[in-house]
Copies of this chain bind each other. A is one copy, B any other.
Amino acid sequence: MAMTIRDIAREAGVSTATVSRALRGLPNVDPLTRERVRQVAERLDYVVSPAASRLASGRAGSIAVITPYIARWYFGRVLSGIEKVLQASELDLLLSSIGDPSETHHVPPHRKLRRRVDGFLVISLSTDTEGLSEIFETNLPVALIDTEREGCWSVGIDDVSGARMAVQHLINLGHERIGLISGRPLPTPFRPEENRWVGYRDALLSARLAVEPDLEACGHFTIEGGERAMTTLLARPNPPTAVFAMSDEMAFGALRSLRAHGLQPGRDVSVVGFDGHEMAEHLDLTTIVQPVEDIGARAAQSLLEAIDNPGREPKQLTLPLSMVVRGSTAFRRDRGHASTSADEAPDAHLAHRRT
Protein backbone atom coordinates (compact mmCIF):
# COMPACT_ATOMS: atom_id res chain seq x y z
CA MET A 1 0.00 0.00 0.00
CA ALA A 2 2.71 2.41 1.01
CA MET A 3 4.35 2.18 -2.36
CA THR A 4 7.16 4.61 -2.78
CA ILE A 5 9.57 5.20 -5.56
CA ARG A 6 12.11 3.36 -3.49
CA ASP A 7 10.13 0.16 -3.66
CA ILE A 8 10.07 0.35 -7.39
CA ALA A 9 13.77 1.13 -7.52
CA ARG A 10 14.64 -1.84 -5.38
CA GLU A 11 12.37 -4.16 -7.29
CA ALA A 12 13.72 -3.05 -10.62
CA GLY A 13 17.30 -3.05 -9.44
CA VAL A 14 17.98 0.59 -10.21
CA SER A 15 18.16 3.86 -8.31
CA THR A 16 15.22 6.06 -7.51
CA ALA A 17 16.64 8.64 -9.86
CA THR A 18 16.38 6.25 -12.75
CA VAL A 19 12.87 5.27 -11.79
CA SER A 20 11.87 8.90 -11.76
CA ARG A 21 13.43 9.53 -15.13
CA ALA A 22 12.09 6.36 -16.65
CA LEU A 23 8.54 6.89 -15.53
CA ARG A 24 8.42 10.47 -16.68
CA GLY A 25 9.80 9.75 -20.10
CA LEU A 26 12.97 11.78 -19.65
CA PRO A 27 15.85 11.14 -22.04
CA ASN A 28 19.04 9.35 -21.18
CA VAL A 29 17.41 6.18 -20.01
CA ASP A 30 18.12 2.86 -21.63
CA PRO A 31 14.95 1.71 -23.37
CA LEU A 32 15.28 -1.68 -21.74
CA THR A 33 15.67 -0.18 -18.31
CA ARG A 34 12.74 2.07 -18.92
CA GLU A 35 10.54 -0.78 -19.93
CA ARG A 36 11.55 -2.85 -16.96
CA VAL A 37 10.79 0.00 -14.60
CA ARG A 38 7.46 0.55 -16.27
CA GLN A 39 6.53 -3.05 -15.80
CA VAL A 40 7.47 -3.10 -12.16
CA ALA A 41 5.52 0.07 -11.50
CA GLU A 42 2.57 -1.37 -13.31
CA ARG A 43 2.73 -4.63 -11.45
CA LEU A 44 3.02 -2.96 -8.08
CA ASP A 45 0.29 -0.50 -9.02
CA TYR A 46 2.48 2.42 -8.21
CA VAL A 47 1.49 6.05 -8.71
CA VAL A 48 3.74 8.92 -7.76
CA SER A 49 2.85 11.02 -4.80
CA PRO A 50 1.85 14.33 -6.30
CA ALA A 51 2.70 16.15 -3.10
CA ALA A 52 6.25 14.91 -3.06
CA SER A 53 6.65 15.42 -6.75
CA ARG A 54 5.37 18.93 -6.57
CA LEU A 55 7.46 19.83 -3.62
CA ALA A 56 10.60 18.54 -5.24
CA SER A 57 9.95 19.93 -8.68
CA GLY A 58 8.40 23.21 -7.71
CA ARG A 59 5.52 22.70 -10.08
CA ALA A 60 2.03 22.84 -8.72
CA GLY A 61 0.55 20.43 -11.22
CA SER A 62 -2.75 22.17 -11.47
CA ILE A 63 -4.49 25.16 -12.87
CA ALA A 64 -7.27 27.16 -11.33
CA VAL A 65 -10.42 28.16 -13.12
CA ILE A 66 -11.91 31.35 -11.77
CA THR A 67 -15.51 31.79 -12.72
CA PRO A 68 -18.29 33.97 -11.41
CA TYR A 69 -20.84 31.19 -11.79
CA ILE A 70 -20.88 27.49 -12.30
CA ALA A 71 -24.52 26.71 -12.74
CA ARG A 72 -25.30 29.15 -15.52
CA TRP A 73 -25.51 27.94 -19.03
CA TYR A 74 -22.62 29.83 -20.53
CA PHE A 75 -20.19 29.14 -17.73
CA GLY A 76 -21.03 25.50 -17.50
CA ARG A 77 -20.36 25.04 -21.14
CA VAL A 78 -17.10 26.92 -21.10
CA LEU A 79 -16.04 24.89 -18.11
CA SER A 80 -16.88 21.74 -19.92
CA GLY A 81 -14.65 22.74 -22.80
CA ILE A 82 -11.83 23.52 -20.43
CA GLU A 83 -12.20 20.27 -18.62
CA LYS A 84 -12.03 18.22 -21.76
CA VAL A 85 -8.67 19.66 -22.65
CA LEU A 86 -7.26 19.48 -19.16
CA GLN A 87 -8.37 15.90 -18.81
CA ALA A 88 -5.89 14.95 -21.45
CA SER A 89 -3.10 16.90 -19.79
CA GLU A 90 -1.21 16.20 -16.63
CA LEU A 91 -2.76 19.10 -14.84
CA ASP A 92 -5.50 19.06 -12.26
CA LEU A 93 -8.44 21.37 -12.61
CA LEU A 94 -9.12 23.39 -9.49
CA LEU A 95 -12.51 24.95 -9.60
CA SER A 96 -13.01 28.24 -7.87
CA SER A 97 -16.15 30.21 -8.20
CA ILE A 98 -15.77 33.79 -7.21
CA GLY A 99 -19.45 34.33 -6.62
CA ASP A 100 -21.23 37.25 -8.09
CA PRO A 101 -18.60 39.96 -7.82
CA SER A 102 -21.14 42.73 -7.66
CA GLU A 103 -22.55 41.25 -4.52
CA THR A 104 -19.23 41.45 -2.70
CA HIS A 105 -19.47 37.97 -1.39
CA HIS A 106 -16.81 36.61 0.87
CA VAL A 107 -13.33 37.65 -0.11
CA PRO A 108 -12.33 35.53 -3.02
CA PRO A 109 -9.75 33.03 -1.89
CA HIS A 110 -7.26 33.65 -4.61
CA ARG A 111 -4.75 34.09 -1.86
CA LYS A 112 -4.96 30.43 -1.05
CA LEU A 113 -4.31 29.57 -4.65
CA ARG A 114 -1.00 31.37 -4.68
CA ARG A 115 1.44 28.52 -4.38
CA ARG A 116 -1.02 25.97 -5.50
CA VAL A 117 -1.37 26.34 -9.25
CA ASP A 118 0.70 26.77 -12.38
CA GLY A 119 -1.68 29.09 -14.10
CA PHE A 120 -5.09 30.70 -14.11
CA LEU A 121 -8.07 30.56 -16.38
CA VAL A 122 -10.43 33.43 -15.82
CA ILE A 123 -13.90 33.53 -17.30
CA SER A 124 -15.68 36.72 -18.27
CA LEU A 125 -14.35 38.82 -15.44
CA SER A 126 -13.08 42.30 -16.14
CA THR A 127 -9.39 42.44 -15.42
CA ASP A 128 -9.95 45.12 -12.86
CA THR A 129 -12.31 43.00 -10.80
CA GLU A 130 -11.45 43.31 -7.17
CA GLY A 131 -9.33 40.41 -6.06
CA LEU A 132 -8.15 39.59 -9.53
CA SER A 133 -5.07 41.75 -9.13
CA GLU A 134 -3.59 39.18 -6.79
CA ILE A 135 -3.69 36.79 -9.66
CA PHE A 136 -1.77 39.01 -11.99
CA GLU A 137 0.78 39.72 -9.31
CA THR A 138 1.71 36.08 -9.11
CA ASN A 139 3.32 36.37 -12.53
CA LEU A 140 1.94 32.99 -13.37
CA PRO A 141 0.51 32.57 -16.84
CA VAL A 142 -3.08 33.65 -17.15
CA ALA A 143 -5.54 32.87 -19.90
CA LEU A 144 -8.49 35.20 -20.07
CA ILE A 145 -11.83 34.30 -21.53
CA ASP A 146 -13.93 37.15 -22.91
CA THR A 147 -11.41 39.80 -21.96
CA GLU A 148 -7.95 40.92 -22.89
CA ARG A 149 -5.04 42.23 -20.96
CA GLU A 150 -1.43 43.06 -21.63
CA GLY A 151 0.73 40.03 -21.07
CA CYS A 152 -2.15 37.60 -20.83
CA TRP A 153 -3.33 34.99 -23.24
CA SER A 154 -6.92 35.35 -24.20
CA VAL A 155 -9.73 33.76 -26.09
CA GLY A 156 -13.08 35.21 -26.86
CA ILE A 157 -15.43 36.52 -29.40
CA ASP A 158 -15.93 40.00 -30.72
CA ASP A 159 -18.76 41.05 -28.49
CA VAL A 160 -18.93 44.51 -30.01
CA SER A 161 -19.51 43.27 -33.50
CA GLY A 162 -21.77 40.52 -32.28
CA ALA A 163 -24.04 43.05 -30.66
CA ARG A 164 -23.75 45.27 -33.70
CA MET A 165 -24.78 42.38 -35.90
CA ALA A 166 -27.84 41.74 -33.80
CA VAL A 167 -28.94 45.34 -33.73
CA GLN A 168 -28.16 45.88 -37.38
CA HIS A 169 -30.40 42.97 -38.16
CA LEU A 170 -33.22 44.72 -36.36
CA ILE A 171 -32.45 47.96 -38.13
CA ASN A 172 -32.55 46.22 -41.46
CA LEU A 173 -35.98 44.96 -40.54
CA GLY A 174 -37.14 48.53 -40.31
CA HIS A 175 -37.08 48.96 -36.57
CA GLU A 176 -36.26 52.37 -35.25
CA ARG A 177 -36.91 52.13 -31.56
CA ILE A 178 -34.68 49.28 -30.48
CA GLY A 179 -34.52 48.38 -26.84
CA LEU A 180 -31.73 46.77 -24.89
CA ILE A 181 -31.93 44.24 -22.13
CA SER A 182 -28.59 44.49 -20.44
CA GLY A 183 -27.15 42.75 -17.42
CA ARG A 184 -26.85 45.22 -14.66
CA PRO A 185 -26.16 48.92 -14.32
CA LEU A 186 -22.69 49.92 -15.46
CA PRO A 187 -20.00 49.64 -14.36
CA THR A 188 -20.21 45.92 -14.53
CA PRO A 189 -17.57 43.39 -13.58
CA PHE A 190 -18.26 41.47 -16.76
CA ARG A 191 -16.42 42.43 -19.84
CA PRO A 192 -18.79 41.04 -22.46
CA GLU A 193 -21.52 43.19 -21.04
CA GLU A 194 -19.62 46.39 -21.62
CA ASN A 195 -18.73 45.39 -25.13
CA ARG A 196 -22.20 44.37 -26.13
CA TRP A 197 -23.39 47.64 -24.85
CA VAL A 198 -20.89 49.40 -27.08
CA GLY A 199 -21.96 47.36 -30.07
CA TYR A 200 -25.59 48.16 -29.46
CA ARG A 201 -24.82 51.85 -29.21
CA ASP A 202 -22.58 51.84 -32.26
CA ALA A 203 -25.16 50.24 -34.45
CA LEU A 204 -27.84 52.68 -33.41
CA LEU A 205 -25.63 55.72 -33.75
CA SER A 206 -24.36 54.84 -37.17
CA ALA A 207 -27.96 54.44 -38.28
CA ARG A 208 -28.76 57.79 -36.65
CA LEU A 209 -31.24 56.17 -34.32
CA ALA A 210 -32.03 57.14 -30.79
CA VAL A 211 -30.01 55.82 -27.86
CA GLU A 212 -32.20 56.60 -24.89
CA PRO A 213 -31.96 55.43 -21.31
CA ASP A 214 -35.65 54.73 -21.67
CA LEU A 215 -34.86 51.98 -24.12
CA GLU A 216 -32.71 50.10 -21.65
CA ALA A 217 -33.50 47.79 -18.79
CA CYS A 218 -31.42 45.45 -16.70
CA GLY A 219 -32.10 41.75 -16.81
CA HIS A 220 -29.25 40.47 -14.65
CA PHE A 221 -28.61 37.67 -17.09
CA THR A 222 -31.42 35.56 -15.71
CA ILE A 223 -34.68 34.45 -17.22
CA GLU A 224 -36.72 36.18 -14.56
CA GLY A 225 -34.64 39.31 -14.91
CA GLY A 226 -35.20 39.33 -18.64
CA GLU A 227 -38.90 38.98 -18.13
CA ARG A 228 -39.01 41.87 -15.71
CA ALA A 229 -36.89 43.98 -18.01
CA MET A 230 -39.19 43.40 -20.96
CA THR A 231 -42.17 44.20 -18.83
CA THR A 232 -40.49 47.41 -17.76
CA LEU A 233 -39.76 48.37 -21.34
CA LEU A 234 -43.32 47.70 -22.42
CA ALA A 235 -44.57 49.97 -19.68
CA ARG A 236 -42.49 52.90 -20.90
CA PRO A 237 -44.26 55.80 -22.62
CA ASN A 238 -42.90 55.00 -26.03
CA PRO A 239 -41.91 51.33 -25.96
CA PRO A 240 -39.46 49.76 -28.41
CA THR A 241 -40.66 47.68 -31.34
CA ALA A 242 -37.62 45.44 -31.12
CA VAL A 243 -35.25 44.38 -28.39
CA PHE A 244 -31.72 43.10 -28.23
CA ALA A 245 -31.07 40.96 -25.15
CA MET A 246 -27.49 40.45 -24.10
CA SER A 247 -28.09 36.78 -23.43
CA ASP A 248 -30.45 34.13 -24.64
CA GLU A 249 -31.66 33.45 -21.15
CA MET A 250 -32.79 37.03 -20.75
CA ALA A 251 -34.35 36.82 -24.18
CA PHE A 252 -36.34 33.79 -23.03
CA GLY A 253 -37.71 35.88 -20.23
CA ALA A 254 -38.50 38.66 -22.67
CA LEU A 255 -40.44 36.29 -24.88
CA ARG A 256 -42.42 35.16 -21.91
CA SER A 257 -43.22 38.71 -20.92
CA LEU A 258 -44.42 39.45 -24.43
CA ARG A 259 -46.74 36.48 -24.42
CA ALA A 260 -48.03 37.47 -21.02
CA HIS A 261 -48.94 40.81 -22.53
CA GLY A 262 -50.71 39.19 -25.42
CA LEU A 263 -47.97 40.18 -27.82
CA GLN A 264 -46.50 37.80 -30.31
CA PRO A 265 -42.71 37.73 -30.63
CA GLY A 266 -41.70 38.65 -34.15
CA ARG A 267 -45.06 39.87 -35.25
CA ASP A 268 -45.51 42.49 -32.53
CA VAL A 269 -42.07 42.90 -31.02
CA SER A 270 -38.87 41.48 -32.41
CA VAL A 271 -36.34 39.92 -30.06
CA VAL A 272 -32.72 38.95 -30.64
CA GLY A 273 -30.72 37.01 -28.10
CA PHE A 274 -27.06 36.25 -27.70
CA ASP A 275 -25.30 32.92 -27.04
CA GLY A 276 -26.73 30.13 -29.11
CA HIS A 277 -28.48 28.38 -26.25
CA GLU A 278 -30.12 25.12 -27.31
CA MET A 279 -33.48 26.36 -26.12
CA ALA A 280 -33.28 29.26 -28.55
CA GLU A 281 -34.16 26.91 -31.34
CA HIS A 282 -37.09 25.59 -29.41
CA LEU A 283 -38.41 29.01 -28.60
CA ASP A 284 -37.86 30.18 -32.14
CA LEU A 285 -35.48 32.88 -31.01
CA THR A 286 -33.14 34.72 -33.34
CA THR A 287 -29.72 34.76 -31.75
CA ILE A 288 -26.04 35.41 -32.15
CA VAL A 289 -24.32 32.09 -31.65
CA GLN A 290 -20.90 31.78 -30.19
CA PRO A 291 -18.79 28.62 -30.03
CA VAL A 292 -18.97 28.38 -26.27
CA GLU A 293 -17.40 25.05 -25.56
CA ASP A 294 -14.70 25.79 -28.07
CA ILE A 295 -13.87 29.00 -26.29
CA GLY A 296 -13.17 27.06 -23.14
CA ALA A 297 -11.14 24.45 -24.93
CA ARG A 298 -9.01 26.98 -26.78
CA ALA A 299 -8.37 28.92 -23.65
CA ALA A 300 -7.23 25.80 -21.86
CA GLN A 301 -4.93 24.97 -24.74
CA SER A 302 -3.50 28.45 -24.63
CA LEU A 303 -2.82 28.16 -20.96
CA LEU A 304 -1.10 24.82 -21.38
CA GLU A 305 1.03 26.33 -24.09
CA ALA A 306 1.88 29.25 -21.85
CA ILE A 307 2.85 26.95 -19.01
CA ASP A 308 5.03 24.79 -21.21
CA ASN A 309 6.76 27.76 -22.76
CA PRO A 310 7.27 30.40 -20.15
CA GLY A 311 8.21 33.71 -21.64
CA ARG A 312 6.48 32.99 -24.90
CA GLU A 313 4.60 35.91 -26.32
CA PRO A 314 0.92 35.57 -25.46
CA LYS A 315 -1.60 35.19 -28.23
CA GLN A 316 -5.07 36.59 -28.39
CA LEU A 317 -7.65 34.53 -30.15
CA THR A 318 -10.97 35.74 -31.46
CA LEU A 319 -13.44 33.09 -32.46
CA PRO A 320 -16.09 33.59 -35.11
CA LEU A 321 -19.70 34.46 -34.48
CA SER A 322 -22.73 33.81 -36.53
CA MET A 323 -26.35 34.80 -36.48
CA VAL A 324 -29.25 32.43 -36.64
CA VAL A 325 -32.42 34.11 -37.77
CA ARG A 326 -35.66 32.66 -36.49
CA GLY A 327 -39.22 33.67 -35.95
CA SER A 328 -38.66 36.06 -33.09
CA THR A 329 -37.53 38.78 -35.48
CA ALA A 330 -39.58 40.17 -38.33
CA PHE A 331 -40.20 43.32 -40.33
CA ARG A 332 -41.55 46.12 -38.33
CA ARG A 333 -45.21 46.81 -38.83
CA ASP A 334 -47.54 49.24 -37.22
CA ARG A 335 -49.35 47.82 -34.26
CA GLY A 336 -52.79 46.58 -35.08
CA HIS A 337 -52.28 46.12 -38.80
CA ALA A 338 -52.63 42.65 -40.08
CA SER A 339 -49.76 41.28 -42.10
CA THR A 340 -48.05 38.03 -42.79
CA SER A 341 -45.00 37.19 -40.78
CA ALA A 342 -42.22 38.33 -43.06
CA ASP A 343 -39.04 37.56 -41.28
CA GLU A 344 -36.41 37.35 -43.95
CA ALA A 345 -34.23 40.35 -43.40
CA PRO A 346 -32.53 42.27 -46.17
CA ASP A 347 -29.18 42.08 -44.49
CA ALA A 348 -27.60 39.41 -46.57
CA HIS A 349 -24.22 41.00 -46.13
CA LEU A 350 -24.13 39.76 -42.54
CA ALA A 351 -23.10 36.26 -41.71
CA HIS A 352 -26.25 34.43 -40.86
CA ARG A 353 -28.13 31.31 -41.50
CA ARG A 354 -31.58 29.96 -41.04
CA THR A 355 -32.63 26.75 -39.43
Contact = CB atoms under 8 A, between A and B. Distances in A.
Interface string A203-243: 00000000000000000000110000000000000000000
A29 B268 CA distance: 73
A127 interface: no
A93 B106 CA distance: 18
A50 B92 contact: no
Contacts of A224: 278
B69 A115 contact: no
A92 B80 contact: no
B47 A51 contact: no
A253 B50 CA distance: 45
A39 to B, nearest CB: 16
Interface in A42-63: 47-52, 54-55, 60, 62
A252 interface: yes
Given A76-B70, A76-B71, A80-B70, A114 B278 contact: no
Contacts of A96: 83, 87, 93
Interface string A228-272: 000000000000000000000000110010000000000000000
A55 B49 contact: yes
A99 to B, nearest CB: 8
A94 B97 contact: no
A350 to B, nearest CB: 27
B49 A52 contact: no
A77 interface: yes
Contacts of A97: 80, 83-84, 87
Nearest to A60: B51
A79 B65 CA distance: 14
Given A51-B54, A92-B116, A115-B47, A69 B60 contact: no
Nearest to A53: B51
A279 B114 contact: no
Interface string A89-105: 00011111100000000
Contacts of A115: 47-51
Contacts of A88: 106
Contacts of A95: 79, 83, 93-95
A74 to B, nearest CB: 10
A111 B41 CA distance: 13
A71 B293 contact: yes
A24 interface: no
A335 interface: no
Q: Which 10 A-B pairs have the closest CB atoms?
A: A51-B54, A71-B80, A76-B76, A51-B55, A70-B80, A71-B76, A71-B77, A93-B95, A95-B95, A256-B282
24 contacts: A47-B112, A50-B60, A50-B115, A50-B116, A51-B52, A51-B115, A55-B55, A62-B94, A69-B80, A71-B76, A71-B80, A72-B76, A75-B76, A79-B95, A80-B97, A87-B96, A87-B106, A93-B94, A93-B95, A93-B96, A95-B95, A223-B278, A224-B278, A256-B282
Given A72-B76, A83-B97, 12 more contacts: A48-B115, A49-B55, A50-B60, A51-B51, A51-B55, A76-B76, A79-B95, A87-B106, A94-B95, A223-B278, A223-B282, A256-B282
